[in-house]
Amino acid sequence: MAYNDLVVRSGLTPDFVRDLSTRKGEPIWMRERRLAAFDFFAHAQLPKLPVPYDQIPFERIRYYVELSLAERSGVNLDDYTKNYYGAYSIQLDSTVLFEQLHQDLAARGILFCSLDAAVQQHAQLVETYFESVVSHTNDPFAALNTALWSGGIFLYVPAGQIVDQPLSAYYATSTPNVGQFERMLCILEKGSRVEIREGCGSMGCIDDAKGILHSGVAEIMQKEDSSLSFTTMQRWHDQMILLATKKARLEKRARLNWCDANKGCHVIKKMPTIELVGAGASGKIVSFVVSGSNHVHDTGGRCVHRAPETISSIVSRALVLNSATAIVRAATICERGAHNAQGYIRCDTLLQGKNASVSSYPQVETHEQTAKLSHEAAVRSIDQESMFFLMSRGLSESQAQEMLMRGFIEPIIQQFPSDFAIELEEFFSDSCIAYAGSDTLNF
C-alpha cells in the first residue's frame, strides 16, 4: 500500500525514525514501536472535515530540533520556575531544558523526569506501560507522536504516596516551523494522590520564530483508590496547530479531576477521554476554549463506563468570537456490565460575532438499563435586552459586552482549582476586553 499524500509531503521516512531512535540511544523495543507507529500513520487516511487537516503544512515542519548548549544557556527560565513546587520540567522545542524533583519526594520513590530519561533509567516500567492506554492505533496523530515523540514527562507514584505539592510541566516552542511531539506517561499506584499542572505557549512574538505543530499525547494509568487532579492551560499563537490525544484509565475507586483550558491556535483537535474500568471509579472533565479570528477549534470530552457504580461528568464551555468555528463534542458511553453508572454532560456556547459558528455533537449511549445518563446544552449570543439594561445603568456598549462575557466565563473558572482563579481570569478576560473594544479580535 502506498504512503498517503501527507507523508509524501512531509518528507518523513522510516530511516528518519530509525535515525531519531539511534540518536537517542534507545533500546530495540522502542525503535520497533516507533517504526510500527510510523507505518500506521503513513497508511492512514485523514478526514478533511471538520478540522482542515489538508491545510497543515507538513512539508515545512521541522520534526526534531535539539538545542545546542549555547542555545540552552541563553534561555531565561526565571519566569517559568518562579512557581516551582514539588517538581518542574520545561521543554523547549524537542529538548527538555530543566527538570527538578524535591529530594523528599525522590526519597519516597516518586519518579519524575523526561520520558527520554525514563527509557534509559526506568526501562522496565516504560516498556510495561508505554502505549498501554494510548495505542498508536488510537488515531493517526497518536501514531505520529508515537513515531516521533521527544522529551515529555514520566511520572511514577508508588502505592500509598501522597504528594501535597503540585508537579508542573511547561512546553514551549521557539524555532521557526518546529513540530513539537511531547509525550506524558503517568502511573499512579494503589492509594496514591498527586496534582499535575501543565502549561503550553510560544516564546518570542514574531510569526516566523514560532512552531507550527504541537502533537502531544498523555496516557494516564490510575490504580485502585488513586486520585489525580490534572490541569492544563494552553496559550499558543494563532498560527499554531494543536492535535492532542489524551486518555486516562481508572481502576477501582480511582478519582480524576481533569481541567483543560485553551486559547489561541488556528486549529485545535482535542478530546480528553476517561475510561472507567474499575467499580466505583469517578472522573470529571472540565473543558473551556476561547475561539477568535478564523480559528477552528474541535474540543470536548469523552467518558466510557466499563464497570459498576462508576460516575462521570463533562462540563464544556466555549466562547466563540469573530469568524471562529467551534465544534463541541461530549460523549458518555455506558457499556454492558456497568450497572448503576451515572453520567452527566453540560455544554454551553456563547457566540459573539457576525460569522461565528458552532456545531455540537453530543453522544449519550447506554447498554445497561440501570444507568442514569443526562445531557444539557445551550447556545446563545449576547441579547439586546441585557445590553440595554446595562447601558441604561451607565455602562458603555463595550463595558456592557465585557461584563456579559465575563459573566459567561466565571462559572467555568470556578470549576478549576482555586489557586488558578486569578491566572485564569487574566488568561481569558483580556479576550473579552479586546473584543468589546474592537470589531476584530486577535490573540
CA–CA gap between residue 409 and residue 425 (Å, rounded): 8
pLDDT of residue 440: 40
Q: What are the grid coordinates assigned to 4, written together? A: 498517503
**Among 101-105, 230-234, 430-434, which is the least confidently predicted range?**
430-434
Decide if 151 contacts 161 (C-beta within 8 A): no
With bands split at pLDDT 50, 70 and 90, how would you rate the model's confidence at 80? low
**Among 68-77, 173-182, 416-425, which is the least confidently predicted range?**
68-77
Instruction: Kindly report, residue by residue over 200-252, the tens digit of the pLDDT.
Output: 887 654 444 456 899 999 999 999 999 999 999 988 888 899 999 999 999 99
Mean pLDDT of 3-23: 83
Does residue 306 have a pLDDT over 60? Answer: yes
CA–CA gap between residue 332 and residue 341 (Å, rounded): 10
pLDDT of residue 433: 59
Does residue 175 have a pLDDT over 90? Answer: no
Does residue 411 have a pLDDT over 90? Answer: no
pLDDT of residue 70: 43
Does residue 288 have a pLDDT over 60? Answer: yes
CB atoms within 10 A of CB 75: 16
The strand pair at 267-270 and 193-202 is best described as unpaired
Closest CA to 246 of 145, 116, 99: 145
**Among 204-208, 309-313, 410-414, which is the least confidently predicted range?**
204-208
Does residue 146 have a pLDDT over 90? Answer: yes
pLDDT of residue 441: 38
Q: At 19, which amino acid appears?
A: D
Q: At 179, which amino acid appears?
A: G
3-state secondary structure (DSSP) of residue 430: helix
Tell me the CA end-to-end span of the chain in Å, nearest whole number.
42
User: What angle is formed at CA 291 by the lines to CA 286 and CA 296, rounded to 5 degrees?
Assistant: 100
pLDDT of residue 438: 52
Q: What is the mean pLDDT of the chain?
A: 88
Mean pLDDT of 102-131: 97
Mean pLDDT of 421-436: 66
DSSP 408-421: HHHHHHTTS-GGGH
pLDDT of residue 176: 85
pLDDT of residue 123: 97
Q: What are the grid coordinates assigned to 399, written together? A: 463595558
3-state secondary structure (DSSP) of residue 222: strand
**Among 44-58, 65-79, 116-130, 270-284, which is the least confidently predicted range?**
65-79
pLDDT of residue 422: 73
Higher pLDDT, 252 or 424: 252
pLDDT of residue 431: 63
CA–CA gap between residue 158 and residue 161 (Å, rounded): 6
Mean pLDDT of 416-430: 72
Decide if 325 contacts 292 (C-beta within 8 A): no
Q: At 402, which amino acid appears?
A: E
CA–CA gap between residue 378 and residue 102 (Å, rounded): 45
Does residue 105 have a pLDDT over 90? Answer: yes
Does residue 144 have a pLDDT over 90? Answer: yes
Higher pLDDT, 148 or 211: 148
Residue that is written with C-alpha cell 456490565 in the block:
337
- CA 195 to each of CA 129, 255, 271: distance values in angstroms, whole numbers, following the listed order: 20, 12, 20
The DSSP element (H or E) to which 176 belongs, if any, is none
Higher pLDDT, 73 or 168: 168
Q: At 193, which amino acid appears?
A: R
Closest CA to 302 of 319, 278, 318, 285: 285
Output the CA torsion sign for 10, 11, 16, 20. Answer: negative
Decide if 312 contacts 284 (C-beta within 8 A): yes
CA atoms within 13 A on the CB side of 440: 2
The DSSP element (H or E) to which 311 belongs, if any, is strand 311-321
Does residue 8 have a pLDDT over 90? Answer: no
Mean pLDDT of 137-147: 95
Higher pLDDT, 146 or 263: 146
Mean pLDDT of 319-326: 91
pLDDT of residue 88: 84
pLDDT of residue 78: 60
The DSSP element (H or E) to which 223 belongs, if any, is none
Higher pLDDT, 65 or 47: 65
The DSSP element (H or E) to which 83 belongs, if any, is none
